[in-house]
Structure 1
Amino acid sequence: MLTLRAEPAAPPPADHGEGPVWDADRTELLWVDIAAGLLRRAAVDAAGELTETGSARVGDTVGVVAPATAGGWVAGAGGGFTHVAEDGTARVLLDLPAEGGGPDDGGTRMNDGACDRAGRFYAGTMAFDERPGAGALYRLDTDGTVTTVLDGLTVSNGLGWSPDERTVYLADSGPGLVHAHRYDPDSGAFTDGRVLLETGGPDGVADGLTVDDEGCLWTAMWGGGQVRRWSPEGELLAVVEVPVARTSSCAFAGPGRDLLVISTSRGEEPEPDAGRLFTVRPGVTGPPAQPYRGPLAGLRHVV
């Protein structure tokens, strides 16, 4: 089994860093600071060096962000979907009826997600108190409709597709499971779900994830200080050691899409580099972020 070690990158730490993605059209890295409600951006050069280039306030919290073909970025923020314009102006597109509120009133917030190749934007939710079954996964389609894809989740987290887009992987970090569903790229439907991975204990629970160009999964292990590479059958292939316990997500970035960027979060224990991004070159490449290809007005929840 391959063992690698990630090194800290230059951008200042976040409070709760999450969701790095590579915007190939703009040639920049995007990630979020959930607790601060910030979208952050960085350039990545051929040597793998990261230089932060800007940030924008999206809302009280923000869990996921993706580029939008109509301009700017679309985000899962607060209890719904928000558009962030090129000048950094944030505008709420839709508040979901079953989501929202705050940590003191049993509220929920948007968490991780991603877009498929057709440009549908999937984003999940979780309760602030992480109570079981309070999370869901939503699909923002290219016609502006929002559909509930899955409910009864606890912490709807990392999302990624196999290279042929016939399988979609979803982490539910509450019970520490990674599910594999059959995926229909024409309709965006999830069917025939099964548990691929059961995680937990000192190695951490599966959090954010990405799928490389060879079809293997990379899962950030929250609480375990590592990222793990798995075969599509669930065999452990590689471990990337990270000197921060709360590793939250990962993505391939840079001009060659061969730099694995890992986000982390601050925890209760003092760790000098907690909240920073980390990088490593694992010897494989991964896909860039797909953009949201739908409208930025008139969104409606239909199911």
Structure 2
Amino acid sequence: MQTPTATPVRSVPPAIHGEGPTWDAARQELLWVDIDAGQVRRATVSAGGEVAEVAVHTGGETVGFVVPASDGGWLLGADGGFTHLDPTGRATVLVALDGEGPAAGTRMNDGAVDPAGRLFGGTMAFDGSPGAGSLYRVDLDGSVHTVLTGLTISNGIEWTADGRTVYLADSGTSTVRAYDYDVATGAFGADRVFLDLSSDAGPADGLTMDDEDHVWVALWGAGRVRRYSPAGELVAEVRVPARNTSSCAFTGPGRDLLVISTSTQDLDDAARAAEPDAGRLFAVRPGVTGRPAGTYRGPVDALRQP
């Protein structure tokens, strides 16, 4: 089993709570967020792996994820709903989800776009209360629907190449579940436990998939990103010298550079001294390529709840 070690990207400043790296293929940019700072961050990645930050935008009090939109801007899971960020950096709240947001003790967490261009975004309670999280879908007509309830920390989500299976991590239960998926309707079907990490080094956090339909999962608190086969077999592990590994994505012109986000959350002074690169991005070339972010293809000015 391969066990490479990722190196810190010191060319860009660290985040407080770095999350959700993804590759915007249209702009050829790396996107990621600093949840606690409410920031969307953008950088270029050269063929040689050099990362250069080009912009930092404020998207809300908290920002859980960012994905490209077809108008050249981005959609965010921010605070308790969905926000549009235009290319100039102006953020516009599109919809505040009923029963979500700071007043309800929850916030948006991870999200992604399905093969048809629909947006999915999940929530969690600030205190991680069991069952307080949900998963929402934004359809191509701008309507917003509840897909799942009773989650704890709705986290990484991604689809197989054929679109027939969607993986969803719930950090609160330390599982990644595989759901049957209908690309025509965006409906979730029968599900099974793909990974149970409850007795492992850390719960599943963000995830991505490579071009061989293997799943890469960041293990929060473990300083690890693991690669699993479609059958759930552990086949590779990237070690990260920062315990709070939060997510990962394949980036760069060849999409062969795995970029890993990390966080300083819950680290005391002693831990921060022992992990001086906590909050930074880390990078490694694992020998495989991965997919760019999906692009949201619905309206950016008319989201609505039924």
Tell me the TM-score normalised to structure 2 length.
0.96
Q: Distance in 1 between matches of 2:124 and 2:203?
A: 16
Verify: 1:301 aligned to 2:299, yes or no. Answer: no
Q: Which residue of 2 aligns with 1:61?
A: 62
**Counterparts of residues 43-122 of structure 1 (less than 5 Å):** 43-101=44-102, 107-122=105-120
Unaligned runs of 5+ in 2: none
Letter in 2 for 1:3: T
% identical equivalent positions: 61
Q: Which residue of 2 aligns with 1:146?
A: 144
Q: Distance in 2 between matches of 1:297 and 1:231?
A: 39
Q: Which residue of 1 aligns with 2:178?
A: 180
Shift of 1:163: 1.1
Q: Distance in 2 between matches of 1:207 and 1:171?
A: 7
CA contact (8 A) 2:115 2:159 kept: no
Q: Distance in 2 between matches of 1:134 and 1:178?
A: 17
Q: Deviations over 1:22-81 (max 9, x none)?
A: 001100000000000000000000001100010100000000111110231110000000
Tell me, what secondary structure is at the counterpart of 1:5? coil
CA contact (8 A) 1:20 1:250 kept: yes
Q: Distance in 1 between matches of 2:212 and 2:161?
A: 7
**Counterparts of residues 277-296 of structure 1 (less than 5 Å):** 277-296=281-300
Tell me, what secondary structure is at the counterpart of 2:3? strand
Q: Deviations over 1:214-241 (max 9, x none)?
A: 0100000000001000011111000000
* Cα gap change, 1:231 to 1:202, in 2 (>3 Å): closer
CA contact (8 A) 2:6 2:283 kept: yes
* Cα gap change, 1:202 to 1:170, in 2 (>3 Å): closer
Instruction: Give the stretch that moved more between structures: 272-281 or 202-211.
Output: 202-211
Letter in 2 for 1:5: T
Q: Distance in 2 between matches of 1:35 and 1:205?
A: 20
Letter in 1 for 2:111: G
**Counterparts of residues 162-201 of structure 1 (less than 5 Å):** 162-201=160-199
The count of corresponding residues between Structure 1 and Structure 2 is 299
Shift of 1:200: 3.5
**Counterparts of residues 178-257 of structure 1 (less than 5 Å):** 178-201=176-199, 203-257=201-255
CA contact (8 A) 1:94 1:299 kept: yes
Tell me, what secondary structure is at the counterpart of 1:60? coil
Q: Deviations over 1:101-143 (max 9, x none)?
A: 25xxx51000001001211010000000100000000001110
Tell me, what secondary structure is at the counterpart of 1:288? coil
Letter in 1 for 2:300: L
Shift of 1:297: 1.6
Tell me the TM-score normalised to structure 1 length.
0.97
CA contact (8 A) 1:202 1:223 kept: no
Q: Distance in 2 between matches of 1:134 and 1:203?
A: 24
Letter in 2 for 1:115: V
Letter in 2 for 1:248: S
Q: Distance in 2 between matches of 1:51 and 1:219?
A: 25
Shift of 1:202: 5.7
Letter in 1 for 2:37: A
Letter in 2 for 1:263: S
Taking only aligned residues, the RMSD between alpha carbons, in angstroms, comes to: 0.9
Unaligned runs of 5+ in 1: none
Q: Which residue of 2 aligns with 1:5?
A: 5
Q: Distance in 2 between matches of 1:39 and 1:183?
A: 29
Q: Which residue of 2 aligns with 1:129?
A: 127
CA contact (8 A) 1:125 1:156 kept: yes
Tell me, what secondary structure is at the counterpart of 2:13? coil
